[in-house]
């Protein structure tokens, strides 16, 4: 909640104006029953028609001004809560974009989605409710009690006798609400995760006829969310009937005592009628205040979840660590690098290699051997546990992440195409000329299929490029990597969907178009790496052999066996 206050502070003046209007409306509302009692008890017995009309007009004027003040205050509250939530959501989205991969893994994508949507909505509701009722409710309750005590002290004591019981109920609601709704939001995170997986993998679900299985999986987590919400709402809802009970008991007591005092001539009818009006509006205010605690519980739980993200370190907070530089002779250098995702078992161990400008490194190995992890470490998606990675002799921890990554052209194993044109997916917000884009497309062997489209570069892709074939998607992704003529190229399994002939043409075109780029190719096929200046053979996160293609055939039985099993592809090299 402390972080939320930072977003509220710039709006304090506007909030103060709205609360002042709300307070004025509440005070005017409190005057109406008092004026009514005065008319009944003091003016009506005098049969002064003009005075009756005059004070009746005053009542109407108070009601009208209070109505207008409340409308203004409510609109002001809606605007303020909207603007605060917009600023909060923008900053949260910005923070999410710059979270390190490690932090993103900790929060999970579904949880971040829920915090950006449901949690910010709860804060919006809480802020609006606090402004609409947070000042009006206490003024009505305290002011009403003060006026009733002035009018009828005895009846006020009867009303006050119910306050401690209601206070206990409000305290229970306040203390139980936050943990209850925090748990609800965590279960909602899991449900969003299931929905997200099914939306992204809908073709796999259909292809394997797993609709019923996925429906049951969703039903299970949906039922859990339903039961969690029911439990939370039941506990909070039990308080309202209890409050009504105590208020009705108090009202009954007021009626009995009031009737006795009127019949005894101790009090007057107008005061009793006014007192009943005050009792009604005070009761409604107490109920409104109790509802605030439900909104506050949800809002506070959501604010805490959002605060977790906003206060954690992001890549924007990373400062150069003044780590000693390495050998500037090498453009890329891994020096005894060790890393583990979960800090239990190492995913890569003692990775060491060096590349000079324009050289090509091939990395090959079985699934799970650590190939993609090496690229993630090079781009500083994660920091090494020990060892160092150097770019042009400078430790990458001394380079701002955005500056580091601008030097790279990348195609990742599970890369993403956005719902936009082919041209915009290649440019990707960068200042890439038409000539550079066309050259990148030509190098990526994508010209033929793009030129065959009626819209050509303006062809609109669906989400994840679902309206392209696997090979077409890879060639668009390669075009994106080549378009900015990067200093370094990292291609992670980027030609797995290409036939051998296209793959061979791609490698020849790449060497011609980007002769000075240092290239790292991660592949499953020996044909994709056999012409590299250096090849690493990985197994269970370790380099088991390194050298040229000919050297590995001699020293690595595993590499030789892979090559022999893929000899069919060599015919096209």
280-309 tens-digit pLDDT: 777 777 777 777 777 787 788 889 889 999
pLDDT band at 91 (very low <50, low <70, confident <90, very high): very high
Per residue in 363-412, pLDDT tens? 998 888 888 899 999 999 999 999 999 999 999 999 988 889 889 988 88
3-state secondary structure of 198: helix
Q: What is the DSSP code string of 227-262?
A: HHHHHHHHHHHTHHHHHHHHHHHHHHHHHHHHHHHH
Tokens of 180: 């209850």
pTM: 0.74
Q: Cα separation of 258 and 272, whole Å? A: 6
What is the reported pLDDT for 239? 67
Nearby residues of 504 by Cβ (< 8 Å), 6 or more positions away: 527, 572, 573
Tokens of 134: 């947070």
Range with the largest mean pLDDT of 70-84, 166-180, 200-214, 482-496? 70-84
On whether the CB atoms of residues 304 and 115 are closer than 8 A, the answer is: no
On whether the CB atoms of residues 532 and 522 are closer than 8 A, the answer is: no
Task: For each of the domains in the chain, give its residue range(s) and CATH number, in order of start.
Answer: 79-312 (1.20.1560.10), 411-485 (3.40.50.300)
Whether the predicted pLDDT of 279 surpasses 80: no
Per residue in 498-546, pLDDT tens? 777 888 888 888 888 888 889 999 988 888 888 899 999 998 899 999 9
Q: Cα separation of 24 and 17, whole Å? A: 11
**Alpha helices per DSSP H over 42-162:** 49-97, 101-107, 109-114, 120-133, 136-151, 153-160
Q: Cα separation of 518 and 555, whole Å? A: 26
What is the reported pLDDT for 87? 94
Q: In the chain, pLDDT over 70 holds for what percent of residues?
A: 94
Q: Cα separation of 499 and 502, whole Å? A: 5
Residue 526: CB atoms within 10 Å: 24
Whether the predicted pLDDT of 170 surpasses 70: no
Instruction: Compute the average pLDDT of residues 312-327.
Output: 83
Instruction: Compute the average pLDDT of residues 462-485.
Output: 86
Per residue in 100-153, pLDDT tens? 888 888 888 888 888 888 889 889 989 998 888 888 888 887 887 788 777 777
Q: Cα separation of 269 and 258, whole Å? A: 9
């Amino acid at each position: 909640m402390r972080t939320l206050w930072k977003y509220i502070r710039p709006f304090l003046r506007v909030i103060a104006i709205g609360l002042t209007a709300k307070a004025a409306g509440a005070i005017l509302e409190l005057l109406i029953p008092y004026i009514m009692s005065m008319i009944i008890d003091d003016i009506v017995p005098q049969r002064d028609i003009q005075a009756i009309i005059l004070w009746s007009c005053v009542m109407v004027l108070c009601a009208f001004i209070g109505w207008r003040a409340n409308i203004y205050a409510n609109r002001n509250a809606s605007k303020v809560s909207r603007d605060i939530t917009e600023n909060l959501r923008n900053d949260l989205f910005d923070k999410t974009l710059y979270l390190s991969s490690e932090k993103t893994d900790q929060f999970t994508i579904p949880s971040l989605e829920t915090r950006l949507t449901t949690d910010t909505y709860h804060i919006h509701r809480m802020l609006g409710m606090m402004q609409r009722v947070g000042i009006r409710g206490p003024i009505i309750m305290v002011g009403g009690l003060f006026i009733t005590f002035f009018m009828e002290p005895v009846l006020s004591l009867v009303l006050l006798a119910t306050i401690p019981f209601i206070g206990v109920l409000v305290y229970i609601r306040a203390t139980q609400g936050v943990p209850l709704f925090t748990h609800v939001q965590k279960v909602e995170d899991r449900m969003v995760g299931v929905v997200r997986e099914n939306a992204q993998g809908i073709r796999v679900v259909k292809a394997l006829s797993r609709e019923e299985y996925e429906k049951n999986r969703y039903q299970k987590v949906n039922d859990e969310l339903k039961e969690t919400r029911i439990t939370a709402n039941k506990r909070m809802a039990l308080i309202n009937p209890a409050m009504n009970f105590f208020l009705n008991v108090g009202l009954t007591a007021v009626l009995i005592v009031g009737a006795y005092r009127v019949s005894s001539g101790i009090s007057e009818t107008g005061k009793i009628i006014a007192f009943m009006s005050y009792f009604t509006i005070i009761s409604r205010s107490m109920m409104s205040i109790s509802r605030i605690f439900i909104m506050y519980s949800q809002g506070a739980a959501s604010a805490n979840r959002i605060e977790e993200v906003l206060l954690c370190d992001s890549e924007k907070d990373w400062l150069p660590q003044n780590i000693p530089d390495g050998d500037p002779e090498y453009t890329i250098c891994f020096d005894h690098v060790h890393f583990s995702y979960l800090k239990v078992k190492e995913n890569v161990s003692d990775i060491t290699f060096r590349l000079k400008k324009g050289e090509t490194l091939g990395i090959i190995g079985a699934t799970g051997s650590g190939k993609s992890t090496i690229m993630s470490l090079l781009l500083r998606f994660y920091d090494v546990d020990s060892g160092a990675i150097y770019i042009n002799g400078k430790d990458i921890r001394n380079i701002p992440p955005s500056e580091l990554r601008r030097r790279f052209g990348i195609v990742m194993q599970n890369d993403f195409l956005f719902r936009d044109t082919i041209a915009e997916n290649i440019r990707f917000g960068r200042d890439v000329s038409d000539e550079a884009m066309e050259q990148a497309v030509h190098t990526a062997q994508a010209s033929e299929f793009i030129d065959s489209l009626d819209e050509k570069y303006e062809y609109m892709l669906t989400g994840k490029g679902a309206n392209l074939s696997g090979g077409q998607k890879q060639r668009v992704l390669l075009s994106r990597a080549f378009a900015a003529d990067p200093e370094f190229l990292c291609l992670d399994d980027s030609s797995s969907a290409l036939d051998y002939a296209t793959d061979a043409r791609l490698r020849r075109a790449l060497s011609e178009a980007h002769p000075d780029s240092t290239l790292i190719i991660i592949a499953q096929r020996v044909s994709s790496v056999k012409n590299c200046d250096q090849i690493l053979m990985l197994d269970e996160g370790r380099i088991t052999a390194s050298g040229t293609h000919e050297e590995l055939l001699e020293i690595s039985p595993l590499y030789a066996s892979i090559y022999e099993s893929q000899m069919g592809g060599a015919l096209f090299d």
